[in-house]
Structure 1
Amino acid sequence: MKKILVSLGCLCFTTLSFSQHYTFETVTDLESTPVISQGITGTCWSFSTSSFLESEIMRITGKEIDISEMYNVRNTYPKKAWNYVMRQGKAQFSQGGLAHDVINSVERYGLVPQSVYSGLKEGQKKHNHIEMVSVLEAMLKVYVENPAKTLSGDWKAAIESVLDVYLGPKVDEFTYEGKKYSPQSFLDMTKIQPEDYVSVTSFLHEPFYTSFVLDIPDNFSNGSFYNLKLDEFIQVIDHALENGYTLGLDCDVSEPTFSQKHGVAVIPENEFEKKAILEDIKQEKSITPEYRQQEFENFHTTDDHLMHIIGKVKDQEGHIYYKVKNSWGTDKTRVGDSGGYIYMSVPYMKLKAISVMLHKDGLSKDIRKKLNL
């Protein structure tokens, strides 16, 4: 694990070169755990937010703890199933979720380490939820159709049983580093307080400085987001990183200029430079709040993927990029490239970031005052 903490105003001159044309210099690099893979699953929301909480545990306690992503997933699926059935199939049931779903799980069910709950069967090395989700979907459709005209009270237990088979039963007590814990006492040991975490976004269809339920498909749990002006949204990210706080990120990654292979995410000014900009610095588009809103309402910006913002770099021309930890492993990058990290430009963040999650203490006093936090 890379352990580099950059104090305020201090610039680390480590040079990172991952292509023929881009050369990056570290500005801020906060502590995080190694890049891992979510496998063949749609559980980026748990991998990214678990990574975020691991950095929070390091920031708060100095402890490096690998927490279980699948424990959060195991606790969230029954909530998804309930939502789907109670809305009589008029809601989305999918593998997707958002950062606050992990926080909700942590608040109710605590935390456990990866060593205690991996979600993998013996001999299994990679997560694959295709069969599990297909079985769950088929069951839920039957419950919604209700062929017996009266739902059995056992349907929820049946869902739990399927999750037990594929992911493993819930954990009540375990031993970690020679000490016995429950999930709740383990959470207490990490010093994570779920109520301390907030999500912020920036859209024009809701009043600024208020919270609202963001209408995106994966927000099945109706989580609320604080709405800021676009420049303030970017300022929140910058202020947090400069003061030692990482952030969870919900983002659109469907653009051809988001490239794990090249390790960059950029928005070219000229459409014909979409390929060239992946390897060479080009002029990027100026992003206005109006253009951001237009792309969101046209479904050109969607909540595709969640990741973890852990730092900032700059290229040889002085342009700033955010260092974003991904959960697609490191095997999709070329040798000598970013190793599972994406360097995301400010224009890309302005246009394609749906929201960020952070500890409320990572907000500036001015923003906290505007949000009444």
Structure 2
Amino acid sequence: MYKFSMKSVFVASVFLLGASSSFAQDILVNSLKVNASDKSKESFKFTEQINLGTTSVKSQGSSGTCWSYATNSFLESEMIRMGKQPVELSQIFSARNVYVEKGKNYVRMHGAVTLGDGGSLHDVINMYRKYGSVPREVYTGLNYGTDKNKLAEMAAINEGVLAAVVKNPNGQLTPSWEKAYTAVIDSYLGKVPENFTYKGKNYTPQSFAKEIVGINPDDYVEMSSFTTAPYYQKTLLAVPDNWSFDQVYNVKVNDMTDVIDNALKKGYTVAWATDVSEKSFSWKNGVAYVPNKKFDDMTADEKADMFNGPKPEPEITAEMRQEAFDNYQTTDDHGMHIIGLAKDQTGKEYYIVKNSWGETNDYKGFLFVTKNFVKYKTTALMVNKGGIPAEIAKKLGV
């Protein structure tokens, strides 16, 4: 139930992190359908090397909450790794608390910070530390008759409320605005229970996090790779949805995949934030790689053949990666969950990635991403510090 079986799938996922609208996922998924081939699945022969425990694939619906789905899935896998019975955690509980904290920060910053559904991997850990956690069955966020997330209306009202507060029409802010803002969120998502029963025992969100989930927020390390800051020190994660201005460890390009490889070999999965706007990312076919030639320079036949079997890739350099980030070719689009490693028929390695767009692609909600794509397009990754190679951990001081 909790493990993705490669054998059953092979017989021969801001959502948008930076989404300003809840409709953005639907638009993105529809646009990615053009990056596909009907012959792709028969053209790739994947053999799993590592496949770690995970809970079932979910759909975030029309919401910009991929970061919460990815990181809560990551925490569920941490429970499996620790020998616990995994609990499917409430992604919307984490998101709801982020919306509250983000609203406070938005007013504090006079409106000069990003709103919307978007968030970062560290948001889930930060909210876990402050608010705890609840099971998905206790808090679904489906409070007005829908069977999936549909948050655009709430987001629009939230923006209107906060815009009015920032205008400060009374000349001095009252404490009532926070109550009004939170009331809007709770009217759409539901009021968070102060106490709830799970398997016959009463919990608060804090006691449930401590007694059932059992993770230590201090055990989790977030990192990225930039040439604009010293390596092996913390630097600001300079993406719009880092509304809390958290810092991440800055590592070298190859360190990112070294960390992921080491973590997987030691039984740790990895939460992953990345750019999925590339033409070489096909959700339908469940494959992502870095082509040798720019899409606009390809012939019609080359474009049609993009996902029909393995393709050569260029070497990824720190300069190439930074240039793509600086000119907005790499954007903070989406959060997913790396759960394993596979090889294609040529011996090239791919990470097995769990997505939150439902079971709507060739591999029932999973995809295969080359290491070069991860090196080129990662905006951040999060891992338990126990999964970091000793030499890198020493440099980071963790």
TM superposition score normalised by structure 1: 0.94
Match of 2:234 among 203, 207, 211: 211
Alignment of 1:1-373 (within 5 A): 1-3=1-3, 19-121=41-143, 123-189=145-211, 190-271=213-294, 272=298, 273-331=302-360, 333=361, 337-373=362-398
Structure 1 position 67, deviation (Å): 0.6
- Distance (whole Å) between structure 2 residues aligned to residue 184 and residue 90 of structure 1: 32
Distance in 1 (alpha carbons) for counterparts of 2:389 and 2:151? 40
Q: Which runs of 5+ in 1 are unaligned?
A: 7-11
Deviates more, 1:113-122 or 1:133-142: 113-122
Structure 1 residue aligned with 2:25: none
Match of 1:19, SS state, is helix
Give the letter for the 1:129 counterpart.
L
Q: Secondary structure at the match of 1:50?
A: helix
- Distance across 2 between alignment mates of 1:199 and 1:26: 26
Distance 1:137 1:16, change over 3 A: farther
Instruction: Tell me, in whole angstroms, the C-alpha distance in 1 between the residues paired with 2:393 and 2:11.
Output: 35
Work out the CA distance in 2 between the residues paired with 1:217 and 1:163: 22
Q: Deviations over 1:17-68 (max 9, x none)?
A: 5612111011110000111100000011101101000000111133121110
* DSSP 3-state at the match of 1:58: helix
Secondary structure, aligned partner of 1:195: helix
Whose RCO is larger (CA < 8 A, sep 6+)? 2
TM-superposed CA distance for 1:147, in Å, is 2.2
Report if aligned partners of 1:60, 1:191 keep a CA contact under 8 Å in 2.
no
Q: Secondary structure at the match of 2:123?
A: helix
Same amino acid, percent of matched pairs = 42
TM (normalized to structure 2)? 0.88
d(CA) in 1 for partners of 2:172, 2:69: 38
Could you tell me how far apart the structure 2 residues matched to 1:312 and 1:246 are? 10
Amino acid at match of 1:34: S
Aligned residues of 2:143 and 2:187 also touching (Cα < 8 A):
no
**SS across alignment from 2:231:** coil
Change over 3 Å in CA distance of 1:43–1:350 after alignment to 2: same
Deviations 1:159-200 (A, max 9, x none): 110111001112211111111111111111222111111101
Shift of residue 277 of structure 1?
A: 2.1
Match of 2:306, SS state, is: helix
Paired with 1:274 and 1:81, the residues of 2 have a C-alpha distance of 44
Mean CA deviation greater in 168-177 or 32-41: 168-177
Contact 1:22–1:279 (CA under 8 A) maintained in structure 2: yes
What are the superposed Cα offsets for residues 98-118 of structure 1, whole Å, 9 maximum, x if unpaired?
011110110011110011111
Equivalent position of 2:33 in the other structure: none
Of residues 167-176 and 246-255 in structure 1, the stretch that sits farther from structure 2 once superposed is 167-176
Instruction: Check conservation: 1:268, 1:274, Cα contact below 8 A.
Output: no
Q: Does the 8 A contact of 1:13 with 1:27 survive in 2?
A: no
Q: CA RMSD, aligned part only? A: 1.8
Output the amino acid matched with 2:260: I
Verify the 8 A CA contact 1:45 1:97 in the aligned structure 2. Answer: yes
Unaligned runs of 5+ in 2: 13-39
Q: Deviation at 1:222?
A: 1.0
Deviations 1:276-316 (A, max 9, x none): 22222221122111100111111100110000000011100
Q: Does structure 2 retain, via aligned residues, the 8 Å contact 1:262–1:279? A: no
What SS does the corresponding residue of 1:281 show, helix, strand or coil?
coil
CA contact (8 A) 2:61 2:148 kept: yes
Answer whether contact 1:310 1:325 (CA < 8 A) is retained.
yes
Q: Is the 8 A contact 1:208 1:227 kept in 2?
A: yes
Q: Is the 8 A contact 1:14 1:25 kept in 2?
A: no
Other structure's SS at 1:135 match = helix
Q: Is the 8 A contact 1:266 1:345 kept in 2?
A: yes
Q: Greater shift after overlay, 33-42 or 283-292?
A: 283-292
Contact 1:257 1:274 in 2 (8 A): no
Q: CA deviation at 1:77?
A: 0.7
